[in-house]
Structure 1
Amino acid sequence: VDHLRQVLLVLRKNHLFANVDKCTFCVDNVIFLGFVVSKNGVHVDPEKIKAIQEWPIPTNVSEVRRFHGLASFYRCFVPNFSTLASPLNELVKKDVVFLWQENHNFAFQELKQKLTQAAVLALPNFTKTFELECDASGIGIGVVLLQGGHRIGYFNEKLHGAALNYPTYDKDLYALVRALQTWEHYLMTKEFVIHSDHESLKYLRAKVN
């Protein structure tokens, strides 16, 4: 009720209006833009999970793009999404002949499994400290945003061009930069904790000194 009052006060202050017919009050959870939001956190809409489970093996580039588009919408639930989806990305590149092979099928099935078994993500609490866990591999970077051990979201990105040749400590630093850009609205207002590879941080500290 307190939160509802705050929202209504903000609407009144800014002379904004809400359509009562499209509002939902006093419920345990609400489906919003393909997500189910409750006091326990955020998870994927069960109807979307069903659609992903029943998605047939793609037979052409357009079908791969449609599946990848749906999967990408929920990438914040899947660690290492970019790395997992890499074979499918290669398949839809311009001038690439469509040929569905074992690596494409593995990526397709793995993404389906990860998405249909995606855990509930916690809601951010701005009275608690945010934490970042950064990691980098040969072809990608990944970051987890947490609070008190509870995962709030995942960010991951496949590396391209010169970034593929970065040393590990530079990839770790790049992962941190991308995390700050992605979650700026959470992180820039207060102190937060970074967890990363100790040797890389030691090297960077030495370079600064």
Structure 2
Amino acid sequence: MRFLGMVGFYRRYCPNLAEVAAPLTRLTSRKVSFNWTPECQRSFEQLKQFLSSDPVLAAPDFQKPFILHTDASDLATGAVLLQDDQGVLHPVAYHSTKLAKHQLAYSTIEKELLGIINAIKKFECYLYGGAHPIQIFTDHNPLTFLEKNKYSNQRLLRWSLSLQPYHLQVKHIKGRDNVVADALSRP
């Protein structure tokens, strides 16, 4: 369902989305037993191809600012690097990573900040030394105060310091509007 939600976020770019996604949509019904068929696999592969090609996935334009949407769950972090093209946000790259065993015990704010750290590291080739501020959208509101807080938590302080070379603007986004990053951070 999360995957279909992420695909649905880009539905305006996918001709016949309902038809292509129909085998997977059928599996979301409680009246149908979950049986992954070759037809479901073909639908899944077509939808992945759709998410990773033009017009959804765009080539980076280093003259424009980058926007980063991040999220963390209990098991993983996810992020999507975006750029605005005439009022439409197009993904440039996706990232998802499973939390290590020791990271599973992190607090929520630590997991959410780790999601930002992971994304910055992954997309460093796009973000480092850029002329524009990087807007980061997270559904974890306490991170919007990142640069103002004096942490007693040494891990948060260390991570906050590692982000100093970047001109970041951390903003809050409602969880229901953080569709793509949310889908990437869930198992």
Normalised by the size of structure 2, how large is the TM-score? 0.48
Normalised by the size of structure 1, how large is the TM-score? 0.44
Structure of higher CA gyration radius: 1
